[in-house]
Amino acid sequence: MKIIGIIPARYASSRFPGKPLVDIAGKSMIQRVYEQVKNTGCLNEVIVATDDSRIEEHVRSFAGNVVMTSSSHQSGTDRCAEVVSKVTGFDIAINIQGDEPFINPLQIELLASCFNQEQTQIATLVKKIHTEDELFNVNIPKVVRNIRGEAIYFSRQTIPYLRGVEQKEWLSKQTYFKHIGIYGYRTAILEKLTQLPISTLEEVEALEQLRWIENGYAIQTAETEHETIAVDTKEDLERIMQTYFTK
């Protein structure tokens, strides 16, 4: 089973333009992500997928692998699909967020292990929620799973709803999971996903993975204990610096 790790990286961002190139203690964010991913033992190849020549040039400057992709892609999934159409011979593609400079390689290995089951089409990670701030934060997607560990639904709202129980007691009465936004796909399935039209559920929740569920694809989940910190804003960057570089 040959696995390729793909790191989509866009320069344009409404909240933080140019963030793949932002400096984090002497290295760019995209270099830190790339180096973390390269520490993963299960990947046969690692590639940055971008539509920006500045990012391409920078990745080449630290001897990273990079593929230029179309600027018209609407999602990282579409960008990954273009890469596997150009760099062939892989069974599994793992889509790794380009804004998590300290992603734990063990998370990638955990995700890859989902494909030891032949029936796995798509895989992603979940993590238990331990605080009310996370539980009721609409910016943190929640997920419910069936007995096989497959995702039934993702929502920005808190699911499942506990009828007749005060919200302050929900965490003590029910196990809740948040979604960790890293995906793995069998490459044959990835091509099919990009051909699906935007679905109703995806549109209302603004969650791409609902398109796949609505079209009958199964998403296997694995539970991680590792936290990830994504850099979506300059405030997130300050938090990263305080977490990893302040003594």
Is 244 domain-assigned?
Answer: no
Please state whether 41 falls in left (phi above 0), alpha (psi between -120 and 50) or beta: alpha
Query: pLDDT per residue over 118-143, tens digit each?
Result: 999 999 999 999 999 999 999 999 99
- Please check whether residue 105 is in contact with residue 33, taking contact to mean a CB–CB distance below 8 angstroms: no
CATH of the domain at 33: 3.90.550.10
Query: pLDDT per residue over 210-237, tens digit each?
Result: 999 999 999 999 999 998 888 888 888 8
Q: Which of 204, 214, 7 is nearest to 93 (CA)?
A: 7
Confidence (pLDDT) at 137: 95
Range of the domain at 39: 3-224
Indicate the length of the chain as a whole number. 247
Domain count, the chain: 1
Is 146 domain-assigned?
Answer: yes
Is 237 domain-assigned?
Answer: no
| Whether the predicted pLDDT of 13 surpasses 80 | no
| Whether the predicted pLDDT of 238 surpasses 90 | no
Q: At 85, which amino acid appears?
A: S
Q: Kindly state the average pLDDT of the residues 183-198.
A: 96
Distances (CA, A) of 182 to 27, 127, 172: 23, 12, 28
Confidence (pLDDT) at 241: 84
Q: Which of 131, 137, 207 is nearest to 171 (CA)?
A: 131
Is 149 domain-assigned?
Answer: yes
| Whether the predicted pLDDT of 247 surpasses 60 | no
Could you tell me whether strands 177-186 and 122-128 are parallel, antiparallel, or unpaired per DSSP bridges? Answer: antiparallel
pTM over 0.85, yes/no: yes
Is 114 domain-assigned?
Answer: yes
Mean pLDDT computed over every residue of the chain = 94
Confidence (pLDDT) at 74: 86
